[in-house]
A and B are shown apart, each in its own frame.
Chain A
Amino acid sequence: MKKILAIALVALLAAGFAFAGGSSEETQIVSTDGSTSMESVIGSLAEAFMNENPEISVTYNPTGSGSGITAVSEGRCDIGLASRALKAEEIESGLAETILALDGIAIIVNNANPVSDLTVEQIADIYTGKISNWAEVGGNDGPIVLIGREAGSGTRDGFESITGTEDLCQYRQELTSTGDVITTVSTNPNAIGYASLSAVSDNVKTVLVNGVAPSEETVLSGDYLIQRPFVMATRSGEALSDAAQKFFDYALSSEAAPIITGAGAVPLN
């Protein structure tokens, strides 16, 4: 009896594999890989796109901007996602960039922190360690805990290049995703961090930068200074597959603009 049951189970599993294999042959796959900051934008774009084109499946691998660029140049995905502009050597190596949207990098503190407005200079001084107590910027007495991202992150790259703090930041923690930064800041009253505006939730408080709150209008007008592009990177010598090209065009169409807005970023079209 047990034997029969076991055989039946194995047969069922095998059938499952066969079925899964068969159905994936019919659907076309568009693989994207990269920035964890772009998760909500790509997630909602992919969902809307797949609703209209059920024969195409869009996958997204959240690995960080650097990984996404490496993946697309090595041919491991169709579209690489980067939350920073491509570097000159990356374009030379055969990649093309298309800006999908703009995103503000929100400076976040714990909800219990009374500080609500910082200048870009203050932020740079905080991250390089010149300012190390919240009392120096109008907060309660307490050491500032700097939370940042790992070295391959597009958010880190954007933040450090805008504030002019490349290689100078005295991080207390280097976390590997946008969500980890938000969680950590939300549990430590002395923490400050940076995260994609599109990902920030009520768990943390967003501070004004030079008196400007990050929003769609202030990012697009350029009044909010700490912002960076969301980029789709493709191999320049090589045409995208039909399915990937369709998704690529869809993401840049005016139809997709409200979806990008809904996900918290600022579409260009």
Chain B
Amino acid sequence: MNVKKVKEDTIHFIFLILGLIAVGSVLVITIYLVISGLPAIREIGLVDFLFGTRWASTSAQPEYGILPFILTSIYGTAGAIVIGVPIGFFAAVYLAKMAPRKVCQVMELCIGVLAGIPSVVYGLVGMLILIPAIMAIFDVPDGASLLAAIVVLAVMILPSVINVSLTSLQAVPREYEEASLALGATWTETCFKVTVPAARSGIFTAIVLGIGRAIGEAMAVMMVAGNVANMPSLFQSVRFLTTAVASEMSYSSGLQRQALFSIALVLFFFIMLINATLLVIKKRSQSL
């Protein structure tokens, strides 16, 4: 009896430790980011840091304004959502409700592959195909721009948008649809007026996950966006929050390095905001 209890307790303890590793990592990262991110903000001044429009960290008179990065990240993510979510969502509706089984299997396989492609490959393809294409189509001097980053991000968020929407659409009870059909609605009407509203919360989750994926991406964006700290404009070369940290971290020192940590802190804040939204959506859908 006692031996059994000790065994049980030991196993519980081991699993508790394993669980705490994840919690501990989050805590360590949060505390580290806050501690190393605050000094620069204090030195530069919160308003000058967040709303300054010029970033010149290595010039003789350094300036650390990250408004261009914040706006670029927001516009870039918003653009990716505007393009990526409708495509992903309608693809999910098609897969869940209309596609023949064979087509469905092939498409799901492709989406799985798309999800597994490393971001550096997205960046490379963007650099060699998308950038020259933008140059040719829009007749601009150079294709590395916010637009190129938006297109790459839109493709990158597709798999998570499709998968999450798909799961939520498939979870809608069959009876709802059957009731609608029995009342004389067509299949398409049923899909969009019954199934989709019923799967609403899952679709919101998909959008939020897409935002999270897009705002945190660095590698692919760094290869197609041009990396100049301009205020965002569709055909200008721009720098995102993530690429601002990634492109300067390796050689930075002093206040510059601290400012990079502060940028990471701002990015972290955005991600937290997204996670909080996700929690609220989940809670609401449970209470319905």
Contact = CB atoms under 8 A, between A and B. Distances in A.
- In the A-B complex, the 10 residue pairs with the smallest Cβ-Cβ separation, listed nearest first, are A66-B251, A152-B251, A151-B58, A173-B226, A67-B250, A143-B141, A67-B251, A167-B59, A145-B142, A174-B227
A176 interface: yes
29 contacts: A63-B250, A64-B250, A64-B251, A65-B251, A66-B250, A142-B141, A150-B247, A150-B248, A151-B57, A151-B58, A152-B58, A152-B248, A152-B250, A166-B59, A167-B56, A172-B141, A172-B144, A172-B237, A173-B142, A173-B227, A174-B237, A176-B222, A176-B227, A184-B127, A184-B144, A187-B131, A188-B135, A188-B143, A190-B142
Contact of B228 (A63, A67, A166, A172): A172
A106 interface: no
A191 interface: yes
Contacts of B132: 187-188
B141 A151 contact: no
Interface in A189-205: 190-191
Given A152-B250, A152-B251, A183 B141 contact: no
Given A142-B141, A166-B60, A171-B237, 18 more contacts: A63-B250, A64-B250, A70-B253, A145-B141, A150-B247, A150-B248, A151-B57, A151-B248, A152-B248, A152-B250, A166-B59, A172-B141, A172-B237, A173-B142, A174-B228, A176-B222, A187-B128, A191-B142
Interface residues of A, number: 28
Contacts of A174: 226-228, 237, 247
A256 interface: no
A175 interface: yes
Interface of A: 63-67, 69-70, 142-145, 150-152, 166-167, 171-176, 183-184, 187-188, 190-191
B57 A190 contact: no
Which has the most chain A C-beta neighbours within 10 Å: B56, B59, B60, B226? B226
Contacts of A67: 250-251
A151 B247 CA distance: 9
Given A151-B57, A167-B59, A173-B228, A190 B141 contact: yes
Most interface-central of A65, A175, A190 (chain B CB within 10 A): A175
A150 B243 CA distance: 12
Among A145, A151, A167, A191, find the residue whose CB has the most chain B CB atoms closer than 10 A: A151
A144 B250 CA distance: 30
B interface bracket (residues with beta carbon within 8 Å of A): 20 to 34
Contacts of B128: 187
Contacts of A173: 142, 144, 226-228, 237
A150 B229 CA distance: 11
Nearest to A190: B141
Nearest to A174: B227
A145 B135 CA distance: 12
Contacts of A184: 127, 144
B224 to A, nearest CB: 10
A170 B128 CA distance: 23
A188 B142 contact: yes
Contacts of A70: 250-253
A171 B252 CA distance: 20
Contacts of B251: 63-67, 69-70, 152
A176 B226 CA distance: 10
Nearest to B128: A187
Contacts of A167: 56, 59-60
B148 to A, nearest CB: 11
A172 B131 CA distance: 13
Residue among A65, A66, A143, A173 with most chain B CB within 10 A: A173
Contacts of A143: 141
A188 B135 CA distance: 9
A39 to B, nearest CB: 16
Nearest to B225: A173
Contacts of B144: 172-173, 184
A167 B226 CA distance: 18
Contacts of B228: 171-174
A152 B127 CA distance: 22
A262 to B, nearest CB: 29
Contacts of A152: 58, 248, 250-252
A136 to B, nearest CB: 15
A64 B222 CA distance: 16
A180 to B, nearest CB: 8
Contacts of A144: 141
Contacts of B60: 166-167
B14 to A, nearest CB: 20
A67 B58 CA distance: 13
